[in-house]
C-alpha cells in the first residue's frame, strides 16, 4: 500500500520531504507533482523502479526517460550541451520543458535511448519537486504519469493513490498542479526540433 503524503504546495514540510527522500534512497518509487503535471520518480540506479515504471506505463526500450534535475549545474553533469544549445536551454529553465540531449557517461546505459544514446532532461520550478531534489542530491529518473488507457495525465493525488496503491510506494499530494505534460524539444542534432507541444511555449524554439 502506497504512503499518502500531504504537503504544502509552496512551503513543503521538511519532515514529510525527508521521509520521501529516505524512501527514494531505499529504492522506492514515488508519484510527485511538477509544474507540468504528476510524474513517477525513482533513483537513477534503481533497476527495479525503472521496470516498475515501464510496467505501469507499458513503455518499450525506445522511450526517452527524463532526468529531473535540481538546477542547470546538475543537468550539465548528465548531458552534453554545446554553447548554442546551452544558451537556449538555460534561458528556458526552470520551466515546463523537457530537452532531449546526448547523455554523458554518468547516465546508466539502460536509461538512454538504445540507438541515439540520448536522454531527456528538465528542471522543474515546482517547490515540492525542488525540495525532493535538494534532499536527494541527485536527479530523479522520471516520466509523466500518463497511464496507457488514459488520454490525459493524472493530476489528482487521491486518484493516483486509488489507481496505483499497490504499484508505487508513495504519493505526494500538494493540491492542484499542472494538467499538461512538458513541451519536448530535441537538441540531439544541435538544432531545436519540437517533438511535443505541451505546457511550455514552443515559439521560443521555432525558427
* Domain CATH number, residue 124: 3.90.870.10
Residue 135, helix vs strand vs coil = helix
- What is the predicted pLDDT for the residue at 93? 93
Question: What does residue 196 show for φ and ψ, rounded to 5 degrees?
Answer: -145, 130
Q: pTM value? A: 0.93
- For residue 60, what are the β-bridge partners? none
Go through 1-12 and write b for each residue having 16 or more CB atoms within 10 A of its CB, e for each that does not: ebeebebeeeeb
CA 112 to chain centroid, in Å, comes to 14
Q: Are 142 and 65 in contact (CB under 8 A)?
A: yes
- What is the predicted pLDDT for the residue at 179? 82
- What is the predicted pLDDT for the residue at 190? 87
- What is the predicted pLDDT for the residue at 109? 80
Strand arrangement of the beta sheet that strand 97-102 belongs to:
3-6, 170-173, 30-33, 38-42, 140-144, 66-69, 118-123, 97-102, 183-186, 193-196
Domain boundaries, position 179: 3-205
- What is the predicted pLDDT for the residue at 126? 95
Cα separation, 193 vs 188, in Å, equals 9
How many structural domains does the chain have? 1
Render each residue's pLDDT in the chain as its tens digit; 207 residues: 999 999 999 999 999 999 999 999 999 999 999 988 999 999 999 999 999 999 999 998 778 889 999 999 999 899 998 888 989 999 999 999 999 999 998 888 877 777 788 999 999 999 999 999 999 999 999 999 999 988 888 888 999 999 999 999 999 999 888 788 999 999 998 899 999 999 999 999 987
Q: Are 39 and 29 in contact (CB under 8 A)?
A: no
108 is written with which cell numbers? 546508466
Amino acid at each position: 500500500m502506497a504512503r499518502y503524503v500531504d504537503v504544502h504546495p509552496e512551503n513543503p514540510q521538511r519532515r514529510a520531504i525527508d521521509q520521501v527522500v529516505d524512501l527514494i534512497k531505499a529504492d522506492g518509487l514515488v508519484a510527485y507533482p511538477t509544474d507540468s503535471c504528476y510524474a513517477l520518480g525513482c533513483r537513477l540506479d534503481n533497476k527495479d523502479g525503472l521496470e516498475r515504471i515501464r510496467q505501469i506505463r507499458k513503455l518499450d526500450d525506445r522511450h526517452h526517460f527524463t532526468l529531473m534535475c535540481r538546477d542547470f549545474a546538475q543537468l550539465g553533469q548528465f548531458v552534453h550541451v554545446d554553447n548554442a544549445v546551452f544558451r537556449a536551454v538555460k534561458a528556458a529553465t526552470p520551466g515546463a520543458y523537457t530537452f532531449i540531449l546526448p547523455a554523458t557517461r554518468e547516465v546508466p546505459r539502460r536509461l538512454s535511448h538504445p540507438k541515439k544514446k540520448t536522454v531527456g532532461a528538465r528542471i522543474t520550478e515546482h517547490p515540492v519537486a525542488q525540495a525532493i531534489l535538494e534532499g536527494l542530491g541527485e536527479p530523479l529518473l522520471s516520466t509523466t504519469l500518463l497511464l496507457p488507457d488514459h488520454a490525459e495525465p493524472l493530476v489528482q493525488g487521491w486518484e493516483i493513490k486509488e489507481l496505483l496503491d499497490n504499484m508505487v510506494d508513495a504519493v505526494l499530494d500538494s493540491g492542484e498542479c499542472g494538467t499538461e505534460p512538458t513541451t519536448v524539444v530535441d537538441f540531439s542534432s544541435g538544432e531545436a526540433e519540437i517533438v511535443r507541444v505541451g505546457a511550455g511555449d514552443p515559439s521560443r524554439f521555432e525558427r
